[in-house]
Amino acid sequence: MMPAELEQTVGLAGDTTLLDGYAPLPRTYDELFRWDGSPREEVAELVAELNELGRAEFMTRQKLAEDALFRGGVTFSVYSDARGQEKIFPFDLIPRVIPAAEWATVERGLIQRVTALNMFLSDLYQEQRILAEGRIPKEVVFGTAGYLEKLRGILPREGVFVNIAGIDLIRGAQGGFLVLEDNLRTPSGVSYVLENRVVMKRVFPRVFRRSRVRPVEAYPARLGDALMSVSPRPPEESRIVVLTPGPYNSAYFEHSFLARQMGCDLVEGSDLFVHDKHVYVKTTSGPERVDVIYRRIDDDFLDPAVFRDDSALGVRGLVEAYAAGNVSLANAPGNGVADNKAVYPFVPEMVRFYLGEEPILGQVETYICARPSECDHVLSKLSEMVVKAVDGSGGYGMLFGPRATRAELDEFAEKLRADPEGYIAQPVIELSTCPTWVDGEAAPRRVDLRPFVLTGKTSWVLPGGLTRVALRAGSYVVNSSQGGGSKDTWVLEGPPT
């Protein structure tokens, strides 16, 4: 079907409307509806448009969208065997909408936070002023994986450690955005933002056009600019590559997508080699210098000469070339120390320390189990807490108190007592919901948001980001590995000036 035909179809007579009877959850903020069930002012028109479509038509388009994503190979998930278990990242057509004014604040807050995190890393790998002045306890920084003493004294070009950040935001019951987690190593998901948008425009051309949504298409070019700005050689001589662990990595689609969109080469570790502290890529016309590597493999695997020597993914001698200033790595190695869960509670302190400002974005109250008094508090309220392993990610290794059985709570309490340094705890946040199409009707499902911040000489925030949605009723876990899906995120244009 062509978009032109799509525009003419409207809901059939007698066909129930899409969002009628949608009931937001009690004590929970809904992205599109007020507590009384009426649409929020800025989305009233969108809701009317969706209602006009009707259920049957909506389902046709949902199918169309899924087919398009599958055909295009916009898939995730690891091959469990060579036969290839690929799935599309489930995509929900009802968009998540963020009004212009609210986004403006988020944008400033994100830039502020990323700036402070960059300054923190820069400080930590040089003078360590923030530790000397006692603003962050030393044991928090050195006690967790992520800090790489070997890299102390090496400063990336422009002093930027975090060129690409993915800052996970959630909305609590009061509606304000809170930072849940910083991803400063190899945050993924942006390809879904771009692909979802393409599909959305195709299946909802009219709704989309009328909503005045800020475009996301500039991302690859902006990423290219940010990477180029840290090249050791002039742009016209520079070669940028994207380094992937390979096609069996779950985010491989994204690696290849970004390389394609930026017009640069996608390489694997075996394509690169180091000669005389310079990095080269093997090409069909001989070795060629590489200046900037957007690497999507973890620190541990980057260079077998420095980190894990069993790594077949990395490049021997890469860190030496980086230290010599002959190649830029984005993101810089060693960032893990700034985005782990033990350091998270101190980010507001970084903002105050380095910038002399109050943080614009709030974050979730966090108990540091390494502190005996806080650990006792957590243990006494375990059933109301989310407890996370400091080194865990992807929703693994955590306890979700309200959902755990007595036995599970007891078992977790044991683990916590045995290794308090390994955990932090947070009160349960009632994540905001957004209407989501499940089993033939729109139902409230919890969402988060991962905006992306690019930093070269300056910072830029992609309008919107990846909205992930927990598709299971009542679930708070939005990770794609655990039954999460995604939505297009619409940041609306401000009023014409």
Q: Where does this chain bind other proteins (CB under 8 A)?
A: 70-73, 82-84, 246-247, 252-253, 256-257, 259-260, 265-268, 270-271, 273, 275-276, 280-287
Cβ 394 to other proteins, closest distance in Å? 23
Closest C-alpha to 295, from 233, 352, 251: 251
118 exposure class (CB count in 10 Å sphere: 0-12, 13-18, 19+): buried
33 beta partners? 39
Residue 425: C-alpha distances to residues 208, 381, 383, 446 (Å): 40, 10, 11, 20
Report the 10 Å Cβ neighbour count for 183: 20
Rounded to 5 degrees, what are φ and ψ at 450?
-115, 95
For residues 273 and 400, which CB has a smaller minimum distance to other proteins in the complex?
273
Biggest CA-to-CA distance, the chain: 74
For residues 123 and 271, which CB has a smaller minimum distance to other proteins in the complex?
271
For residues 27 and 83, which CB has a smaller minimum distance to other proteins in the complex?
83
For residues 195 and 339, which CB has a smaller minimum distance to other proteins in the complex?
195
- Give, as one character, the DSSP assignment of residue 428: P
Q: How far apart are CA 364 and CA 358, in angstroms?
A: 16
For residues 84 and 496, which CB has a smaller minimum distance to other proteins in the complex?
84
Cβ 260 to other proteins, closest distance in Å? 4
Cβ 417 to other proteins, closest distance in Å? 47
Cβ 276 to other proteins, closest distance in Å? 7
For residues 209 and 275, which CB has a smaller minimum distance to other proteins in the complex?
275
Cβ 155 to other proteins, closest distance in Å? 28
Q: Is there a contact between 171 and 444 (Cβ–Cβ < 8 Å)?
A: no
Cβ 213 to other proteins, closest distance in Å? 24
Torsion of CA 332, 336, 339, 341, to 10 degrees: 180
Its sign, for the CA torsion 359, 364, 367, 368, is negative
Q: Is there a contact between 105 and 360 (Cβ–Cβ < 8 Å)?
A: yes
Cβ 253 to other proteins, closest distance in Å? 8
236 exposure class (CB count in 10 Å sphere: 0-12, 13-18, 19+): exposed
Q: How far apart are CA 50 and CA 48, in angstroms?
A: 5
For residues 199 and 267, which CB has a smaller minimum distance to other proteins in the complex?
267
Q: How far apart are CA 161 and CA 241, in angstroms?
A: 18
Cβ 480 to other proteins, closest distance in Å? 19
Residue 404 CB contacts under 8 Å (≥ 6 apart), including other chains: 383, 412
Cβ 242 to other proteins, closest distance in Å? 8
For residues 266 and 424, which CB has a smaller minimum distance to other proteins in the complex?
266
Cβ 121 to other proteins, closest distance in Å? 30
For residues 253 and 367, which CB has a smaller minimum distance to other proteins in the complex?
253
Q: How far apart are CA 430 and CA 452, in angstroms?
A: 23
Within 13 Å, how many C-alpha atoms sit on residue 341's CB side? 26
For residues 183 and 191, which CB has a smaller minimum distance to other proteins in the complex?
191
